[in-house]
Every structure is written in structure tokens, then in C-alpha cells.
Structure 1
Amino acid sequence: MKPIEAEQFTRSLTHHGEGPVWLGRHGLAVMDMLAGDVVLVDNNGAETRREHLGEVVAALRPRHDGGFVAGLERGFCLLDDCFAVTRTVTCWTDPSVRMNDGACDPLGRFWCGSMAYDLTPGAGALWRLDAEGSAVKVIADIGCSNGLAWTRAGARAYYVDSLTGRVDFLELGPDGRVVDRQPFADAAGEGFPDGIAVDLADGVWLALFGSGRLVHFDRTGRRDAEIAVPARQVTACTFAGPDYSELFITTSRFGLGDPEAAAGAVFKAKPDVGGFAPHAFGG
């Protein structure tokens, strides 16, 4: 298995960094999730802007016609290009459950999943916000909805329910329904499976929270590479930069009484295979 070293890209700028995404001229966006902040970072790793969206900001993606879509604590919101909220969609009212991670599919729909704050099994769900603005619960009885990413062609999505200890793949019907879900790769007992990124060869990078590393599975599910990070709580990753050749990795200080100095920083690494631009929201 090929080892790859990560280097620190930013200072420690989040308490619980999550959901990194490349936003072109805005640079890299990182969610300080439990602070409800979107943090923008330039090409040199410097923080350029911080926008507060609510109690929680779970995930963010660009919109086709400008602005952004985001997952908030209990639903979704639309933002203009200045990060001002223009519309909100509430999916539930239970304060014990929050959104956690999400991404857009190639057809322009935004998917985001939920979890209980105390990780109650079955309390979460996978939700989809369609371009016209309606929210649909796609899968119920999720433990901790986490990483979600589509291949570039969109033939399948990879999905993590952390409490299963594995990555699954989802096959979608033309109406957006999940028509099949099968185990893809197992990481049980190696850390808490968290965020993912898909590369140009349909391989998957998986962040293993608590382990200080990410592992790579090729499109067949074979493990073939690993990235070591000098912070235990790695949370998520994304391909970013002008050519999407580098993998940017978020980390967390959450719950650590004696965190590493770099916990909460963003790291970067250069895998053999790069990635592609994030799919955008059509609404």
C-alpha cells in the first residue's frame, strides 16, 4: 500500500473543520461546522473571510447560476454570491438531530444527511433538495450520515453511514430514487469513517476520524494507498485548486482535552490521481 505524506496548509482555524469544497475565485471553503461558520481560504492557506450561517453549517456547494446551497442544522438554505441567505427549507423540528454532510449529484440536486447529536442508531436520514426547492427524505434509519460523493460521470455515488464502519455505493434511478445500495469497502475498527472524495479513476479517499489517516480504495474496492496526517481527528477531504490535483484535508479539535497543535488546520497531499470540480446545484 503506497504511503503519502500530508503537509500543513493552514493554521488551526476551525474547532470542528468539515466539508471542504473548492469555490473557484472564492478559493477553498471549509465548514467550521458546529460554530455555523463558512471559512474561506486563499491559495496560500490564509483565511480571507468567515461567514456565520447558523447554529450548524453541514455542507456547502455552488449553484449553477451563482450563489450557493448549504445544509444547516435542520434543513437547507440558498445563499447569494455574497453568502447572504435568500431562502430556507426546514426538514424537521427535533432539536436532537442535525445535518452532517452532503454533496450535489450531476443532475443538480443537493443531498445532505442527518444524525442524532448523541449518535442514536437509526435517528438519521439522507435528504435531497431538488432544484425546484422541495426536500425529500430518500433513506431513513441512518445512524450517522456522513461522506457522500458522486463519480464524475455520475453513474454511482459513494456513501458513508459511519455506524456501519464502511463505504457503500448507491445506484440511482432517473427520478432520483436510490434503487440499489451495496457495501463497497470496509474500514470497521480502524477509526470512525467520515468524509470522502472521489478521484478521476472512480477511486475513493476516506477520512478515518480518530486515526490520523486517510485510506484510498480503487474502483473495485481494493485498498492501495494511505495518507498520514499529524492530527488524529481527520474529518473530510476534497480535490481542490485550479487543476484539482491536490487533496485538501480538514481536521478537528472537538472533544480533545489536549489537542495536537495542528488540530483544526487544513492539510494537503498530492495523490497519483487527481479529482474534478464539484457538481453544482441546479436551483
Structure 2
Amino acid sequence: MTAAPCDGLLEQVTAPVAGHGEGPVWCPADRLLRWVDMLAGDILSLDPATGTIRRRHVAPVVAAVRPRSGGGLVAALERGFALLRDDSVELLPEIWSDPSVRMNDGGCDPRGRFYCGSMAYDATPGRAALHRLDPDGTVETVLTGLTVSNGLAWTRDGDRAWYVDSATRRIDVFAVDPATGALRDRRPAVVVPPDAGTPDGLCLDVEGGVWVALWDGGAVHRYGPDGSLTAVVTLPVRRPTACAFGGPDHADLYITTSRQGLPADDRSPAGALFRIRPQVPGFPDHTFAG
């Protein structure tokens, strides 16, 4: 499997500021790129105009965040969801009580609903699920029998969603029910070879291409809508975790990375945030309507 290297210059934007960086998202209201240091329970933010980085501790674990349409953030914590303002954290009821399972990654759909999937800390097969927080605060479990629920993103027109359960080594596509927004008719779209790494977080561009971080692969791959490999971003770290388009024009691809599980003498910039500007831009993420 070969593809041309991605056009554009890869830039290391930060020092290795995260132990397990994950879940980047562009927040247009304040023009900040946010991501999480998941197992530290912190939300990090970058102001690209000044280079200022801020850190906010939220909980023992914070798995994913997305902006809310009315201001603030929605977050997935260890076993449930929370609503955040600048000076407050409103914890919603836990979805489960088992301390061996935590939230992992997610995103918002075009209807403003926040999905986040889980995983067992030891990645036991079949123990994970995909949960949805509706704007009225109700929670529904929409998929079960998963193992490491990871990236989830909707196409620009909202008729399909791309999804990763990392244990399958695939990127799957759902059709989206136009009446209800339900995910249905799941089918494999891309199978990632073992020597390329494990598919993790992902995002989409305006042409329908999917960009996926490859854990232990040291790269981000772009696959076209037909599943063909079209571009490769090579990173100086083993464990990229997720990617998202950001900046006012959504043309910068931000990539989070992790130091989790690396040897103590690893001298790579793992845990840093990276950025590249591909030829094809992205588009705004959906926000949570609650």
C-alpha cells in the first residue's frame, strides 16, 4: 500500500505537553484549538495567533470535548458526560458504574447530538459501547459489543458517518437515516494492514476524504471516499492519536500524539501537537445543541 507524501510542511506546534493527547477540535467562537490530556483529566487550548497554551483540570479523566452552540463545552468524562462553562462543571448522571471501563472518543452529529464511545482499560473485546447525549440531556446507548471505540465523524452533507473500532483494524461507514439521524447499514470501507499501525481518531475533508491517525504507525493516512489511500503524513513519533481541521479557514490539520506506553528513555516529541496544511481543507465540526 503506497501513496504520495502529503503536501505541506509538518510543524511541531507545542512541546510534549500531554501524556496522552487526544481529541483535537477547533472552537470557532474563541478561535482556539482544544484537545485533551485524557488520563490527566485536563483540557488543553492553543491560541494559534499568539501561541498561548492553557490547561484546565476538569476531572480524573476527560476523554473528548466539543463546543456547545450556546457557549461552553460538552465533555465526556470517565463514565459519563458533563457540561462546562468557564467557571463551572455540571456533571450529568454516570452511564455505568464499572470502574474498569472508560469513555474514549467521539463527536457531534449534524443534529447537535454528542456521541462518545468507550473501552475497557485493558481493552477486553466486546466490553465497549457507543453512547449518545441528546440536547435535552437524555442518553442512549446506540452500539454495543465494541472493543476500543474511537474516531467518529460525519460527512459534510450528513448522509454518512465514518467510524473506527480500533480492534477491528478497519474504518467503517454508516449510512445515516435522513428522518432520525440514526446510524445504520454499517460496512467496512478501509482495512489497515498490521504493519501500518492501528486506526485511531479521524476527521473528514471537503472532498469526503478521511484522515486517520495510526497508533504505533507514526503517521496519518488520508483515504478517498472510495477507500483508496491517497496521502501519508509521516510524524516523528510512534503514537499519533487523532486529527482535526482547524483555523479560521479550517485548512490546518492538527494532530495529537501520546507518550502512553513508551519507554522512559524515549526522546521523541511524543505528547506534542503537530500541524500541517494539506491541499484539501476541512470544514467546521458540528457543535452540541444542548
In structure 1, what is the Cα distance between the partners aligned to 2:73 and 2:175?
A: 26
After superposition, give the CA deviation of every residue in 1:171-217 in whole Å (9 maximum; x if it has no partner): 22233432210101110302111000100011100100111101110
Q: Is 1-10 or 146-155 further displaced after alignment? A: 1-10
Structure 2: gaps (5+ residues): none
SS at structure 1 position matched to 2:39: helix
Q: What is the match of residue 183 of structure 2?
A: 178
- Which consecutive segments of 4 or more residues in structure 1 shift more than 6 A? none
Asked whether the equivalents of residues 108 and 282 of structure 1 are also in contact (C-alpha less than 8 Å), the reply is yes
Q: CA deviation at 1:278?
A: 1.0
Distance 1:83 1:105, change over 3 A: farther
SS at structure 1 position matched to 2:282: coil
The size of the alignment, in residue pairs, is: 282
Distance 1:83 1:223, change over 3 A: farther
Asked whether the equivalents of residues 67 and 83 of structure 1 are also in contact (C-alpha less than 8 Å), the reply is no
Pair 1:144-2:151 in alignment? no
Structure 1: gaps (5+ residues): none
Pair 1:157-2:171 in alignment? no
For 2:123, the aligned partner's letter is L
For 1:143, the aligned partner's letter is T
Q: CA deviation at 1:89?
A: 3.1
Distance 1:45 1:159, change over 3 A: farther
| The one of 92, 96, 101 aligned to 1:97 | 101
Instruction: State the Cα RMSD in Å.
Output: 1.3
In structure 1, what is the Cα distance between the partners aligned to 2:266 and 2:52?
A: 21
| The one of 269, 279, 286 aligned to 1:262 | 269
Distance 1:242 1:193, change over 3 A: same
Q: What is the match of residue 2 of structure 1?
A: 4
Q: What is the match of residue 136 of structure 2?
A: 132
For 1:247, the aligned partner's letter is L
In structure 1, what is the Cα distance between the partners aligned to 2:193 and 2:119?
A: 19
Q: CA deviation at 1:55?
A: 1.4
Q: CA deviation at 1:48?
A: 3.0
Asked whether the equivalents of residues 164 and 188 of structure 1 are also in contact (C-alpha less than 8 Å), the reply is no
Q: What is the match of residue 281 of structure 2?
A: 274
Q: CA deviation at 1:26?
A: 4.9
For 1:2, the aligned partner's letter is A
Pair 1:35-2:40 in alignment? yes
For 1:30, the aligned partner's letter is W
TM-score (normalised: structure 1): 0.96
SS at structure 1 position matched to 2:106: strand
Asked whether the equivalents of residues 158 and 176 of structure 2 are also in contact (C-alpha less than 8 Å), the reply is no
TM-score (normalised: structure 2): 0.94
Pair 1:198-2:204 in alignment? yes
For 2:76, the aligned partner's letter is G
Q: CA deviation at 1:151?
A: 1.0
Q: What is the match of residue 256 of structure 2?
A: 250
Distance 1:98 1:206, change over 3 A: same
In structure 1, what is the Cα distance between the partners aligned to 2:233 and 2:31?
A: 27
Percent identity among equivalent residues? 49
In structure 1, what is the Cα distance between the partners aligned to 2:267 and 2:163?
A: 29
